[in-house]
Amino acid sequence: MLVRFLILLVFVLGAVYAQTHNCVYGYKPSSHIGKLRVPITCNLQQLDCPSSWKSGIPEGSETSAPMIYQKFLNCHEGFTSCGYVPIDPKSGEILGESGVTVGAGVDLGNKSRASLTSLSSTLVDKLEPYFGLKRNLAACAVIERPLSLTLDEANTLTDAVTNGVVEKVSKRYDSDKDENALVFASVPRGIRTAIASVWYQFGYPSAYPRF
């Protein structure tokens, strides 16, 4: 009887934990002027990034795995194991439609359980309270209920999202390329990385800015 009760208790607590967070106090931009992100205790990790990538990625132009150079994305996006929401330091307002961000720029505001099926249920349960939350709702949620992952969890999440992006980019590139052009897998890794980085940041090509 006790065992059944404990199993039920674990299930109930897990279900409660996974619910989307409902803010209590709301987010006040004026209270965070001068800051780059909230909560202010969440800082980007030092990654020993090069000052310039003009010389190319370290792997050169080989066409073998890995498909892209992950460190480039990590350096470009910034990397954290804690959740944060980027804000305008001049006004304290949320930048764009940002949601709670963690790992290498993984925005949980546009994520769901269905989009992260390759991850363990334990990790997804940690992330789920922030799924779909954007702007002020995301900011107050991560302030009231801070998100903290282990370094391994943050890397696992980032890898899963990156792999999904690379798969989409590869399919789109190969379907749009000229008949005699190289397939995506045969394009130099530096070029693959640059293309994937744009999709990673902006999403579907229709949302791309003009470069």
Domain segments of the chain: what residues? Answer: 29-46+65-203
- Written as tens digits, the pLDDT of the chain (211 aa) is 554 544 444 444 444 445 788 888 889 999 999 999 999 999 998 888 888 877 777 665 555 667 888 999 999 899 999 999 999 999 999 999 999 999 999 999 999 999 999 999 999 999 999 999 999 999 999 999 999 999 999 999 999 999 999 999 999 999 988 989 999 988 888 889 988 988 888 776 655 555 4
Q: How many CA atoms lie within 13 A of 60 on its CB side?
A: 3
Are 205 and 199 in contact, with CB atoms under 8 Å apart? yes
Do residues 166 and 191 make contact, with C-beta atoms less than 8 angstroms apart?
Answer: no
Q: What is the largest CA-CA distance in the chain?
A: 69
Does the domain at residues 29-46+65-203 carry the CATH identifier 1.20.1250.20? no
Q: How far apart are CA 112 and CA 122, in angstroms?
A: 14
206 and 83 in contact (C-beta within 8 Å)?
Answer: no
Query: Which residue carries 């202010």 as its tokens?
Result: 40
- For 23, the 3-state DSSP assignment is coil
Pick the closest to residue 121 from 113, 109, 110 (CA basis): 113
Q: What is the pTM of this model?
A: 0.82
The pLDDT of residue 147: 97
